[in-house]
Chain A
Amino acid sequence: MTAESLAFFFLAAFAVSTAILMVLQRNPVMSAICMIGTFFSLAGLYLLLHAQLLAVLQVVIYTGAIMVLVLFVIMLLNLGDEARLRERYDLAMGVGTVLAAGFVVELFFILFYSGDPALRASMDPRAAALGTVEGMGGALFGRFVLPFEMTSVLLLVAVVGAVVLAKRKG
């Protein structure tokens, strides 16, 4: 096992376990901190894929900006009463849990134990070039320029929607 695959398995395990912990935590602040762990390990995974810029952006934007916002929202909402987050258990939830578990097992089985030839064992040689600032810029303003521009429309609509739904009655 090479150092690279060791690092991959460590980061992947860390990402999955912090993601699960995030859902299981009762305290929203603890959930947010677990999410930071997931974001960090994702950044590490990007590094393994030679996507340096993506790794830096992941840390700066997600772990930095977005998580600070999430923490701010949690604190402003003042979720003092943690007991309120406790869930009720009933039949529908039981059925849902069984179905969800079945779905996960099914996915695992299909994706890991079927010996799929379609999954690429090795990395695309062009991937290393794509991970640089130049490569990302070329992709964003070349082939993906229209999706890139439409993303700004998407964000604008989300902002307008947040203002419309949240503003005081005037």
Chain B
Amino acid sequence: MFLAFLIFAGLFVFNDMSRRKCANFRSCEESLKLSVNNSEVGTFSGRKILPPSIDLSYGTFEADVLGEAADIGEKHIYVDLGTQTLRAYEGDKLFMETVISSGKWGKTPTGEFKIWEKLRATKMSGGSGADYYYLPNVPFVMFFSNNEVAAGRGFSLHGTYWHNNFGYPMSHGCVNMRIIDAEKLYNWVGPVAEGNVTLSTADNPGTVVTIYGQAPI
């Protein structure tokens, strides 16, 4: 009987830990898919907030033709956790620079990643108690991964409508951006959007994202 209890408890703990490895543990798999809920209300910091309405006919697909930018240089995104800033370069040319919010309640992974999926919008939820959040219509989502941080863990750069405290850690592991910044980056970054859901391929590769430094406490 006692052994059975230990096995049950062990399975529970293992299951809970594996779920918490995701950036948004309540919506881990769901967050990786396109999700639009224009009639729903979000929750963050114990407050209700109206998400932005998502228009799936939004014309974001006029970005670079594949290969067009090859003579300018490779695209590369750098996220400095120490200064909470993001810089995007095309070769040596700075495309954009802005402040972000990295992980506070969950750690943002460091290393070199590639964008593997772009979604026009998705739903993210997690936390518990006062930290509970439910966020439909998270816009301009760019998921990144590498060999050590699996795609299924759901780390991404994305637009943020529930706080405005950029320059300071505020997320559960993702890289929060102002919507106007996320939109600009989304329309620039590889893979080139082929609709509201775009997976990177050998012919349409994801941009490299380098995340480094240590977030302020």
Whether A associates with B in a native complex is: no
